[in-house]
Structure formats: C-alpha cells, structure tokens
Amino acid sequence: MKMIRKNKRNIVIAVAMLILLAVGAVSAYFTSSDKADNIWTVGEVKIALEEPGWDPDNPPENIAPNQSFVKDPQIRNTGSNDAYVFLKVRIPVANVITADEATGERIAAADRELFEYTMNNGWYQLENGTPETIDEKDYMTYIYAYGSRDACTALPSGNVTAEALFDQVRFINVIEGQGLENTELKMPIEAYGIQTTDLTDNDVSDPASVWKLLDAQTVKYAGK
C-alpha cells in the first residue's frame, strides 16, 4: 500500500452542542443552543452540521421520562471537494433507577445512558462506545461513519447526507428524585470531514482506517 500523504489542511471539524435538558421532578424542559460552535475550516474541506427538523425558537417543553422528541443531525458538504464525513455523539451517563416500560417496576440503579435513538440506514457505527469524563460529567461516546462497514460514502460538494444519523431522541424512563432535577444535561454532537482525494488514490476508504487517519491529524492540528 502506498504511503498516505498526511495533510492536516484537508480536515475540518464542526462542533454543535445540540441538546440541553433541564430535568424536573417527573418532566423536563427541553432547549438547545442549536448552533455550530468552534467551527474549524481548514483547506478546501467545508462541512455544516444541520438539523432541519429542529426549531430552536420553539423547543418542546415538559419533556417527560420515556418521551421522544425530534432531533435529526445531518451533514452538508459546503466546500468544493468531495469528503468522507463522520459524526461523534456523546450521550450523558448517570447512575439512576429506571422503571420497566411494560410493568412499571423499578430497575436497580446502574450507570445508564440517559438518551436513546435508532441509527438510520446509510450510517455505520465504528465501535461499541467509549466512556469519557468531561468537566466532571460522564458520557458514552460513539463514532459514526457515513457509509458502510466496508467503505465510507463520499459526500459530493453541495450535497447533504441522504439520511440524518437519527430522527428523534428518547429520554429514558428515569424515576424521579435522583438528583437530576434542574440539572443541565448536554448531548454534544460533532461533525468531521476529510477530503477523499489522497485516500482514494491510496485505496483507503474503510471507515476504521479513514477515522484513524482523520482523528490522528485532528489531534495534531488541535495541538498547534
């Protein structure tokens, strides 16, 4: 295999803090900043993280445990070069007691992801999830590639991913009175992109290899 020319200028990161939840006793008020913060555009690769179904001016209110609401993150290629794109999702984790959805019986306290969703077709989850602690808050982090297990799908200039990563998010069936009341919960989502040119020239298109290269270059760039 040919050596890959590692060019940090071919990388862009768009970061969005998409979910902000203030939990009440048995319900919640849902809001979101719904904006891309800390956008890095380097070289000719430019992407935008979008949520067409989310209205930041009219967020759903009084979100109750086990209730779903619309969230539909997708990526648009706003640059001039084709790109392979990824989404990183961090789900807040807490040690909580939940209720069985069918019987209502309590399930013993355990570390649980507080939000659930179903991945749409056209995306591939790279790994089972990595625990992280950020600002003393616990998260489970997942990486998703636009494509399949065998190959990333190139996102042409001006196009948007055919499907959002997911269409809605569900807050799990948490029992009240566990310290989540009026607590701010965040579910950060980050979009990553790298131009396809050097990768396809070197027969590199599988998600694991592309992400490894992209992640390594991102760390180097962030450290400059």
Q: What is the pLDDT of residue 168?
A: 93
Distance CA 56, CA 36 (A): 13
User: Quick one: three-class SS letters along 93-139?
Assistant: EEEEEEECCCCCCEEEEEEEECEECCCCCCEEECCCCEEEEECCEEE
What confidence score (pLDDT) does residue 104 get?
Answer: 81
pLDDT (0 to 100) of residue 74: 93
pLDDT at 91: 92
Q: Which residues contact 111 (CB under 8 A, 6 or more apart)?
A: 93, 94, 95, 138
Please give the pLDDT value at position 151: 94
Mean pLDDT of 209-216: 85
- Give residue 81's pLDDT: 87
Exposed, middle or buried: residue 178 (CB in 10 Å: 0-12, 13-18, 19+)? middle
Distances (CA, A) of 112 to 13, 132, 173, 188, 193: 28, 13, 11, 17, 30
Triad 192, 188, 133: Cα angle to 5°: 105
Q: What is the model's pLDDT at position 117? A: 96
Q: For the whole model, what pTM was predicted?
A: 0.81
Token pair in block for residue 175? 């029992």
CB 118 within 8 A of CB 170: no
Question: For the segment 59-68, what is each residue's pLDDT rounded down to a tens digit?
Answer: 666 667 888 8
214 — pLDDT class (breaks 50, 70, 90)? confident
Q: How confident is the model at residue 183 (pLDDT cuts 50, 70, 90)?
A: confident
> Model confidence at 1, in pLDDT bands (50, 70, 90)?
very low
In this predicted structure, the answer to whether residue 41 has a pLDDT above a threshold of 90 is no
Asked if pLDDT for residue 181 goes beyond 80, the answer is: no
Q: Residue 11's pLDDT is what? A: 58
Does position 156 have pLDDT exceeding 90, yes or no? yes
pLDDT at 101 (0 to 100): 81
pLDDT range class, residue 213, cuts 50, 70, 90: confident
The answer to whether the beta carbons of residues 166 and 189 sit under 8 Å apart is: no
CB atoms within 10 A of CB 90: 22
Q: Which residue has the higher pLDDT, 40 or 110?
A: 110
- Segment 131-139 mean pLDDT: 91
pLDDT at 94 over 70: yes
Range 20-40 average pLDDT: 38
pLDDT band at 14 (very low <50, low <70, confident <90, very high): low
**pLDDT of amino acid 127:** 85
Across the range 171-193, mean pLDDT stands at 81
